[in-house]
């Protein structure tokens, strides 16, 4: 009898990363197997051989004709060191959702069209990346031709028998990119969760047989069994959709870096707005930063950017200011296309004066205060301080304090009432999660949809030839944590870039409560480094990434008081045991009550990430812990 340590895929937290099973056969390391697990069967893969254990073991049920190769296996083993108690969830990333069988051919054998040539700037970037063959930050303006450069890079490695992975943050953008690239490279695969089980099964089967492939998809494409990898490209690498929203909260950047390391390949991170932490680390570690500054289209269009400040003349029941409505109406009369972008961060609850537009900021650090409805109190999600909600404005002394919030649904309703004959489409997670987004990206590009209303997904990567006006609603209402201004800057920079990239002169109207904010002025002036220098100074001053590592301990209880009591007791215990970790809190989440429970958190800071994993190990599975958060809750 032979014994094996097996990583079993699942959803349960566990202090065990591998489980021991037996078999009468010799089975290679990395083999995908079916095993009894609890009352059901589950898929897993063999991590190592094991000596005969002292306890009774169960036999394997089946050995599949699938293998997790050595680079992916080593990536998994590194991940379980970085994310305690996440062995099952991490194993699930590398496993098929069902037993793989032969199916239809999903490798797109398109009629190959010659690649369009690179311009001089793109050619220089191409040569630097090929010659360097090392992880690179591609800092490219919106519309500078990053997709064309990706296509040439992919072809270089495919011609040499290598496989290439191209990641996008959203399914819709993956489908759009696939259509842009597929005709130039004959063996291109599109993979995402909207495919049928049969289609996904077919792709798994094909990946073991084909070479010289380009695999395009969102983050799930990264852990497909792609062997002989030559290059991993992460487009729109700043996008937070690359990070899991649930435990273990792994970022695709981490997986890509490990997979590139173990496969002997390298990563290209492409973005017009690099996260300040990435740019800082690139400079500190000597990672090449390659610029694409020029718009790739033959004629750079004019983007007329206008900033409208929220004041007593623009406040009312409508989310859109009168001047914005007038500009939208003129666009429709000309047959042009309008994009209404709701800044999700800006539409979180915040307190402002209806008379003068003043917003309440933290007395300690000048960060915008977030309103917590359940406690009727303002909290700072940067330094943790709180204060009562004012009854009169400290600037103009009027008793016109108001909580503001506008969402995509309410704005869609408002516009439909004003323009009933205009073809509109709302794009947000409420109405696009279960639908095939690619059909709507086609309608957007062709101008069938005259008015698009939505959140951040509309600012990502799409080329909209009929676009004539962009209205940003809710700019300046930053009620998030330490990265709130960075997210707002990235959003505004990207959406203004959509206008500059366009085929027509385009007007951009930004409705804001903070017209003097550095993030806004930097975005309008297309000055990334002005924002970078200001933001990195703030991060250094208040000890946030990239200067420290962060962790969050989530506390959920039946009442707000029990959250506070439990958190206070826990933080006292942790401070006495972990001297190299700073604990802040406990603090109520911005949306304190959800799912019938109240939610608080404790923030952890340390210069050493292993110090944080020590805390997580100490807490075990009693608390939900989040490492490397991109923001505070």
- Give the pLDDT score at 477: 55
Pull the structure tokens for residue 284.
């500190």
Same domain, 423 and 532: yes
16 or 48, higher pLDDT: 48
Same domain, 460 and 572: no
- Give the pLDDT score at 101: 57
- Give the pLDDT score at 346: 37
b (16+ CB within 10 A) / e for 251-261: ebbbbbbbbbb
Is residue 621 predicted with pLDDT exceeding 60?
Answer: yes
Nearest to 630 by CA among 272, 347, 244, 349: 244
Indicate the pLDDT class of residue 435, thresholds 50, 70 and 90: very low
Cβ neighbours of residue 388 under 8 Å, at least 6 residues apart? 377, 378
Strand segments (E) across 51-149:
58-59, 62-67, 108-109, 136-140
Which value, in Å, is the radius of gyration of the alpha carbons in the chain? 26
Domain assignment of residue 524, yes or no: yes
Query: Which CATH number goes with the domain that contains 214?
Result: 3.40.50.300
Lowest mean pLDDT among 139-143, 303-307, 437-441, 546-550: 437-441
Indicate the pLDDT class of residue 366, thresholds 50, 70 and 90: low
Domain assignment of residue 481, yes or no: yes
Query: Which CATH number goes with the domain that contains 617?
Result: 3.30.70
User: What proportion of the chain, given as a percentage, has pLDDT over 90?
Assistant: 55
Alpha helices, H only, 482-595: 484-501, 518-524, 528-542, 560-577
Same domain, 417 and 559: no
- Mean per-residue pLDDT, 59-77: 95
Handedness of CA 449, 454, 457, 462 (dihedral sign): positive
| 620 C-beta neighbours (distance < 10 Å), count | 12
Pull the structure tokens for residue 345.
């961060």
Q: What is the pLDDT of residues 255-266, one digit of tens each?
A: 999 999 999 999
CA triplet 89, 97, 164: central angle to 5 degrees?
A: 85
Same domain, 134 and 258: yes
Alpha helices, H only, 185-294: 197-207, 252-263, 276-285
Q: Is residue 467 within 8 Å of residue 339, measured between CB atoms? A: yes
- Mean per-residue pLDDT, 605-613: 98
Q: Name the domain boundary from 292, 315, 338.
A: 292
Domain assignment of residue 385, yes or no: no
Query: Which CATH number goes with the domain that contains 14?
Result: 3.40.1440
SS3 content of the chain, % helix, strand, coil (to 5): 35, 25, 40
Same domain, 531 and 583: no
Average pLDDT, the chain: 86
- The DSSP call for residue 241 is G
- Give the pLDDT score at 299: 55
- Give the pLDDT score at 350: 59
Residue 577's domain comprises 549-627
Is residue 428 predicted with pLDDT exceeding 90?
Answer: no
Same domain, 449 and 312: yes
- Give the pLDDT score at 253: 96
Same domain, 243 and 122: yes
Domain assignment of residue 572, yes or no: yes
Same domain, 229 and 336: no
Domain assignment of residue 362, yes or no: no
Nearest to 236 by CA among 449, 460, 80: 460
Q: Is residue 177 within 8 Å of residue 103, measured between CB atoms? A: no
63 or 356, higher pLDDT: 63
Q: How far is CA 203 from CA 44, 104, 252, 528, in A?
A: 19, 9, 21, 40
- Mean per-residue pLDDT, 205-211: 84
Q: Exposed/middle/buried for 460, CB within 10 Å: 0-12, 13-18, 19+?
A: buried
- The DSSP call for residue 143 is T
- Give the pLDDT score at 382: 65
Lowest mean pLDDT among 75-79, 203-207, 546-550: 203-207
Indicate the pLDDT class of residue 347, thresholds 50, 70 and 90: very low
294 or 428, higher pLDDT: 294
b (16+ CB within 10 A) / e for 127-156: eebeeeeebbbbbbbbbbbbbbbbbbbbbb
Cβ neighbours of residue 543 under 8 Å, at least 6 residues apart? 582, 605
Indicate the pLDDT class of residue 437, thresholds 50, 70 and 90: low
Same domain, 246 and 138: yes
**pTM exceeds 0.75, yes or no:** yes
313 or 553, higher pLDDT: 553
- Give the pLDDT score at 102: 52
Domain assignment of residue 360, yes or no: no
- Mean per-residue pLDDT, 235-255: 94
Same domain, 330 and 420: yes
| 291 C-beta neighbours (distance < 10 Å), count | 14
- Mean per-residue pLDDT, 439-464: 78
User: What proportion of the chain, given as a percentage, has pLDDT over 70?
Assistant: 86
Count of CA atoms in the C-beta half-sphere (13 A) of 440: 23
| 69 C-beta neighbours (distance < 10 Å), count | 17
Q: How far is CA 100 from CA 8, 30, 203, 338, 443, in A?
A: 17, 16, 9, 45, 35
Q: How far is CA 605 from CA 350, 368, 610, 612, 617, in A?
A: 27, 22, 11, 8, 16
Q: DSSP characters for 492-514?
A: HHHHHHHHHHSSS-EEEEEEES-
Phi and psi for 551 in degrees, rounded to 5?
-145, 155
- Mean per-residue pLDDT, 570-597: 91
Q: Strand pairing partners for 600? A: 555, 588
The number of folded domains in the chain is 4
- Give the pLDDT score at 446: 83
Indicate the pLDDT class of residue 368, thresholds 50, 70 and 90: confident
Q: What is the pLDDT of residues 506-533, one digit of tens each?
A: 899 998 877 878 889 999 999 999 999 9
- Mean per-residue pLDDT, 173-195: 88
- Give the pLDDT score at 103: 47
Domain assignment of residue 368, yes or no: no
Q: Name the domain boundary from 93, 123, 146.
A: 93
Domain assignment of residue 358, yes or no: no
Same domain, 328 and 439: yes
Same domain, 518 and 430: yes
- Give the pLDDT score at 201: 84
């Amino acid at each position: 009898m032979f014994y094996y340590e097996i990583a079993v895929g699942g959803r349960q937290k566990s202090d065990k990363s591998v489980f021991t099973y037996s078999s009468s056969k010799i089975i290679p390391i990395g083999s995908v197997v079916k095993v009894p697990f609890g009352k059901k069967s589950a898929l897993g893969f063999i991590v190592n051989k094991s000596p005969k254990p002292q306890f009774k073991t169960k036999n394997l049920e089946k050995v599949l004709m699938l293998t997790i190769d050595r680079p992916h296996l080593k990536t998994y083993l590194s991940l379980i060191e970085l994310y305690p108690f996440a062995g099952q969830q991490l194993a699930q990333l590398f496993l098929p959702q069902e037993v793989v069988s032969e199916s239809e051919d999903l490798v797109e054998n398109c009629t190959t069209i010659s690649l369009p040539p690179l311009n001089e700037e793109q050619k220089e970037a191409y040569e630097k990346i090929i010659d360097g063959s090392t992880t690179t930050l591609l800092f490219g303006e919106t519309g500078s031709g990053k997709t064309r450069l990706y296509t040439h890079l992919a072809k270089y490695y495919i011609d040499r028998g290598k496989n290439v992975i191209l990641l996008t943050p959203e399914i819709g953008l993956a489908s759009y990119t696939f259509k842009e690239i597929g005709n130039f490279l004959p063996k291109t695969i599109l993979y995402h969760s909207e495919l049928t089980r049969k289609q996904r099964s077919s792709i798994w089967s094909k990946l073991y047989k084909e070479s010289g492939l380009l695999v395009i998809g969102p983050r799930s494409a990264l852990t497909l069994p792609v062997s002989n990898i030559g290059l991993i490209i992460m487009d729109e690498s700043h996008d937070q959709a690359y990070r899991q929203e649930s435990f273990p909260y792994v970022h695709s950047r981490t997986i890509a870096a490990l997979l590139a390391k173990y496969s002997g390949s390298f990563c290209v991170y492409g973005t017009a707005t690099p996260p300040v932490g990435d740019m800082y680390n690139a400079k500190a570690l000597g990672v090449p930063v390659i610029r694409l500054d020029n718009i790739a289209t033959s004629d750079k269009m004019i983007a007329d950017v206008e900033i409208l400040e929220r004041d007593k003349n623009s406040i009312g029941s409508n989310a859109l200011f009168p001047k914005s409505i007038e500009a939208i109406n003129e666009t429709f009369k000309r047959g042009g296309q309008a994009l209404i972008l709701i800044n999700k961060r800006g539409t979180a609850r915040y307190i402002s004066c209806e008379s003068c537009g003043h917003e309440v900021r933290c007395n300690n650090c000048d960060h915008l205060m977030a309103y917590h409805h359940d406690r009727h109190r303002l909290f700072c999600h940067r330094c943790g301080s709180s204060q009562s909600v004012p009854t009169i404005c400290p600037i103009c002394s009027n008793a016109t304090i108001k909580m503001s919030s506008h969402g995509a649904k309410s704005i869609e309703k408002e516009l439909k009432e004003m323009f009933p004959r205009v073809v509109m489409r709302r794009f947000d997670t409420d109405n696009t999660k279960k639908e095939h987004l690619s059909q709507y990206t086609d309608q957007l590009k062709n101008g069938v949809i005259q008015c698009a209303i939505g959140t951040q997904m509309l600012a990502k990567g799409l080329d909209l030839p009929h676009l004539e006006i962009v209205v940003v609603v809710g700019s300046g209402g930053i009620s998030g944590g330490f990265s709130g201004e960075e997210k707002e800057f990235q959003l505004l920079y990207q959406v203004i870039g959509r206008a500059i990239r366009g085929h027509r002169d385009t007007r951009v109207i930004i409705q804001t409560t903070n017209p003097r904010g550095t993030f806004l002025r930097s975005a309008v002036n297309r000055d990334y480094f002005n924002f970078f220098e200001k933001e990195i100074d703030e991060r250094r001053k208040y000890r946030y990434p990239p200067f420290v590592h962060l962790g969050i301990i989530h506390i959920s209880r039946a009442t707000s008081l029990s959250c506070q009591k439990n958190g206070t007791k826990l933080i006292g215990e942790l401070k006495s045991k972990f001297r190299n970790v700073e604990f802040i809190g406990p603090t109520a989440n911005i949306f304190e009550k959800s799912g019938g429970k109240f939610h608080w958190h404790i923030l952890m800071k340390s210069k050493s990430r292993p110090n944080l994993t020590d805390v997580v190990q100490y807490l075990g599975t009693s608390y939900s812990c989040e490492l490397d958060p991109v923001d505070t809750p």
